[in-house]
């Protein structure tokens, strides 16, 4: 039991270190309070995620897909009930938070805010997954930090889309994160593994990709300091904190 408790505590350390490192950049750019709020909002996002996933689950059950094909059911369950509901709420949470900013936001700021929302959700999700899990599983989730990586993809493309006024680019990151997230969850199901023992490499590859995304995020934030296009304001927030450009049309 002592080893398991230590493993659980250790699994949260990477999340905390990454958050503190990102928040340090926020202090440099006078957005540290917003970054702190992003972590709290990430925690809170678990509530609407649960509600939305329950709705998707009910609709999927009513369709009686599992009786027709357990494999198809698991595919739909992991891609829609799990991955889609989580990515929708995290993305919406980050966008709503950006509207409350009292300082101009850059591509880097948008990216970091989205990542921190993912960190907040990922930390609480990891705590929930600790129930009944084993030590290796707990440590792997802590090392991979998938929600931080998905947040990086979503936030970067959304920020660049705002900068270039490109609606397709703003949604590219969300779609990529959703597909990657869904594939990772699906690859861990028993139904997927029954297709062939060699398919275990898929889950391993995606876990490695999650780690690579976190490394890419750190590299991006470091290099962004020297790139003017990553730091110029793309969301100008007036005194009355008006909505982001073209939000009214999209919503």
- Classify residue 251: in a domain, yes or no: no
Residues of the chain with pLDDT > 70, as a percent, come to 84
**Rg (Cα) of the chain, in Å, rounded?**
19
Q: How many domains does the chain have?
A: 1
- 225-243 confidence digits (pLDDT tens): 889 888 888 865 444 334 4
Q: What is the pLDDT of residues 80-118, one digit of tens each?
A: 999 999 999 999 999 999 988 888 889 999 999 999 999
Query: Tell me, what's the pLDDT at 243?
Result: 43
Does residue 32 or residue 169 have the better pLDDT? 169
| pLDDT at res. 101 | 85
pTM of the model: 0.88
Distances (CA, A) of 155 to 94, 101, 104: 9, 16, 16
Question: Domain for residue 235, yes or no?
Answer: no
Q: How confident is the model at residue 15 (pLDDT cuts 50, 70, 90)?
A: very high
Residue with tokens 């909002």: 41
**Residue 234 falls inside a structural domain:** no
Q: Is residue 9, in this structure, part of any structural domain at all?
A: no
Please write the tens of the pLDDT for every residue from 174-225: 999 999 999 999 998 889 988 887 888 998 899 999 999 999 999 999 999 8
Residue 6 lies in a domain: no
User: Which domain, by its residues, includes 125?
Assistant: 17-229
In a domain, 77, yes or no: yes
Residue 119's Cβ-side half-sphere holds a number of Cα atoms within 13 Å equal to 29
Give yes or no for residue 248 having a pLDDT over 60: no
In this prediction, residue 198 carries a pLDDT of 85
Q: Does residue 134 register a pLDDT over 70? A: no
In a domain? residue 4:
no
What are the distances in angstroms from CA 76 to CA 10, 194, 203? 33, 17, 17
Per-residue confidence (pLDDT) for residue 27, from 0 to 100: 59
Q: How far apart are CA 170 and CA 92, in angstroms?
A: 13
pLDDT tens profile 21-32: 998 876 566 677
Give the pLDDT band of residue 129 (cuts 50, 70, 90). confident
Residue 2 lies inside a defined structural domain of this protein: no
In angstroms, how far is CA 27 from the centroid of its own chain? 22
């Amino acid at each position: 039991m002592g080893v398991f408790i230590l493993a659980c505590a250790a699994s949260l350390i990477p999340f905390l270190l990454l958050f503190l490192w990102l928040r340090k950049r926020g202090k440099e750019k006078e957005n540290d309070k917003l970054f702190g709020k992003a972590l709290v909002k990430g925690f809170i996002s678990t509530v609407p995620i649960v509600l939305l996933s329950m709705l998707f689950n009910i609709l999927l059950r009513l369709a009686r897909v599992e009786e027709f094909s357990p494999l198809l059911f698991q595919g739909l369950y992991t891609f829609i009930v799990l991955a889609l509901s989580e990515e929708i709420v995290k993305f919406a949470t980050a966008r709503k938070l950006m509207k409350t900013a009292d300082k101009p936001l850059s591509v880097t700021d948008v990216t970091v805010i989205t990542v921190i929302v993912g960190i907040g959700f990922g930390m609480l999700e990891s705590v929930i997954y600790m129930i009944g899990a084993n030590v290796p599983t707990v440590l792997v989730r802590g090392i991979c930090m998938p929600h931080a990586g998905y947040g990086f993809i979503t936030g970067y493309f959304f920020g660049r889309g705002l900068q270039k006024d490109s609606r397709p680019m703003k949604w590219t990151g969300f779609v990529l994160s959703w597909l990657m997230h869904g594939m990772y969850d699906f690859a861990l199901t028993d139904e997927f593994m029954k297709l062939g023992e060699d398919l275990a490499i898929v889950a391993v590859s995606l876990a490695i990709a999650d780690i690579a995304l976190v490394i890419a995020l750190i590299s991006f934030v470091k290099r962004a300091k020297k790139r003017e296009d990553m730091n110029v304001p793309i969301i100008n927030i007036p005194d009355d904190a008006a909505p982001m450009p073209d939000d009214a049309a999209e919503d």
